[in-house]
Amino acid sequence: MFMRDFFRLHEHGTTVKKELLAGLTTFSTMAYILVVNPMILSRTGMDFNALITATALAAAIGTLVMGLYARLPIGLAPGMGLNAFFAYTIVLQMGYSWQFALTAVFLEGIIFIFLSLFHIREAIINSIPENLKHAISVGIGLLIALIGMANAGIIETGMRHVGEGKLDGVILQIGDITSAGPLIALTGLIVSAVLMYRKVNAALLIGILVATVAGMLLGVTHWPASGSLVSLPPSLSPIAFQLEFSKIFSLDMVVILFTLLMVNLFDTVGTLIGLCNKAGLLDSRGRIPRAKQALFADAVGTTAGALLGTSVVTAYVESASGIASGGRTGLTAVTVAGMFLLALFFAPLFAMIPAAATAPALIIVGMLMMGAVTKINFEDTTEAVPAFLAIVMMPYTYSIAEGIVFGMLSYVLLKVFTGQYRKISPVMYVLAVLFVLSFLLQ
């Protein structure tokens, strides 16, 4: 069969059925972006309905390239954090038009295409020490679990009033566990865990479906207001091909491009390392297979997304849910891309799934990714401290990129100050300088 040979299913110990289920699971944990991304970007004056179509198409294009070209089980879509930078910083704070912001995203995509073609991004990945690669996987696991718990309301911001308008200093606190969101998430969590114990391949997907049904009983899952689960895709015309090049030769554009490049580069690099590590796809030297092709996928997705009218496209950590369900090849990604295209016509159906219903998959995936912590060398302080900082800074700062920055910069400094500077690759030195510059430009 063509699919078995092209994706080398037998070589990766998987099947068509397992890959399709993994794709469905990944999509179900990513589907929230179809609503959340338009909600954020529409604050700039962009058309909300057109943004739904742009988000789905950009995700489908990037993920399809990932599946067919890189043949990795990773989904892509407009990235959280970068869409907020697009809306709140470039447009609302700096005062530029959303057309100017789209132009910045387009230029970043073009730059990334060239960096990928000339193996520069691949060189960066291969320069990261093995200890830090394991730490990145663990840190992403903690971040995923945090996102899941926050989405469900199991934990929440710990700002409690203590009188006279004052707030206490609690950063996080437990939410109202007896409310609908946490109850739905905990129901799905127990169901998923039991099914995983019984070796059911679709355990995470079934857990999401059960949690969604539970949401109906608790009034959280709502039937579409239109009464129909099918609709035609909204037109792209209000936002597509709306680039503005009149102000690209400015200091602001340089700062914007540098920020987009740095954040997206290390978000994608960290995500790829963590996911491929979890899937057992890293080679004996800890390198990502077909890294150039994988990095090319998000560059193409970003460029296409800017033309369609959406923000930076990047690899999604939620892909770990599909990997945990058995996804190992590009067929998983192709399935995700197909689901995003279907979502254009079934958006009301996918919009029914509440965030609390996808939380169990994210929590379990976070637990599974913690396994890499046993591979980290904690005996050598110059290895342990950078790994620890990479791990904890991801959930503490809510950013994969920030965790990588703290981990890599501390690694370089500790190795230099302990006389082990020969262990640092030239690429790591260059990155350390760029990290310092990024802090100075903030």
Which pLDDT tens digit goes with each residue over 88-115?
878 887 888 999 999 999 999 999 999 8
Residue whose token pair is 């911001």: 157
DSSP 300-341: HHHHHHHHHT---EEE-TTHHHHHHTT--SHHHHHHHHHHHH
Residue whose token pair is 């710990």: 158
pLDDT score of 302: 95
pLDDT score of 161: 57
At residue 240, what are phi and psi to the nearest 5 degrees?
-75, 140
Angle between helices 251-278 and 426-441 (to 10 degrees): 130
DSSP 372-395: GGGGS--SSHHHHHHHHHHHHHHH
Q: What is the pTM of this model?
A: 0.74
pLDDT score of 40: 82
pLDDT score of 442: 58
pLDDT score of 278: 82
Task: Using pLDDT thresholds of 50, 70 and 90, give the confidence band for residue 410.
Answer: very high
Segments making up each domain of the chain, as ranges: 1-441
pLDDT at 332 over 90: yes
Which pLDDT tens digit goes with each residue over 174-220?
899 999 999 999 999 999 999 988 877 678 878 888 998 999 999 88
pLDDT score of 229: 77
- DSSP run (H or E) holding 173: strand 172-174
pLDDT score of 419: 93
Mean of pLDDT over the chain: 86
pLDDT score of 38: 86
Q: Which residues pair with 156 in a beta bridge?
A: 173
Task: Using pLDDT thresholds of 50, 70 and 90, give the confidence band for residue 164.
Answer: low
Give, in degrees to the nearest 5, the angle at Cα 220 between 38 and 399: 45
pLDDT score of 97: 93
pLDDT score of 80: 74
